[in-house]
Amino acid sequence: MRFLPLLVMLMSSGLYAQTGSEVFLFDLQSKKAKLTLSNPKNITNHNGYDNQPSFHSDKPLIYYSSFNDDGRSDIKIFNYKTGKTTNLTKTSEREYSPTLTPDQKFISCIIQRDNNAQDLGKYPVEGGQPTVIIDNLIVGYHAWIDDTQLILFVLGEPQTLRLYDTKTKTDKILAEKIGRSLHAIPGQNAMSFVHKISDSEWIIKRFDKTTGAISDIATTLPGREDLCWTPDGKIIMSDGSKIYWLDPSSQEKKWIEISMPANEKIKGITRLAINKKGTQLAVVVAE
Cβ-Cβ contacts under 8 Å for 171 (sequence gap 6 or more): 137, 152, 154, 162, 163, 164, 165
Range of the domain at 72: 5-286
pLDDT by residue, tens only, the chain of 287 residues: 333 444 333 333 333 346 899 999 999 999 878 999 999 999 999 999 999 999 999 999 999 999 998 889 999 999 999 999 999 999 999 999 999 999 999 999 999 988 888 899 999 999 999 999 999 999 999 999 999 999 999 999 999 999 999 999 999 999 999 999 999 999 999 999 999 999 999 999 999 999 999 999 999 999 999 999 999 999 999 999 999 999 999 999 999 999 999 999 999 999 999 999 999 999 999 99
Query: What was the pLDDT predicted at 12?
Result: 34
Strand 118-124 and strand 243-246: the pairing is: unpaired
What CATH number is given to the structural domain containing 94?
2.120.10.30
pTM (global) more than 0.75: yes
Query: What was the pLDDT predicted at 18?
Result: 66
The tally of domains found in the chain comes to 1
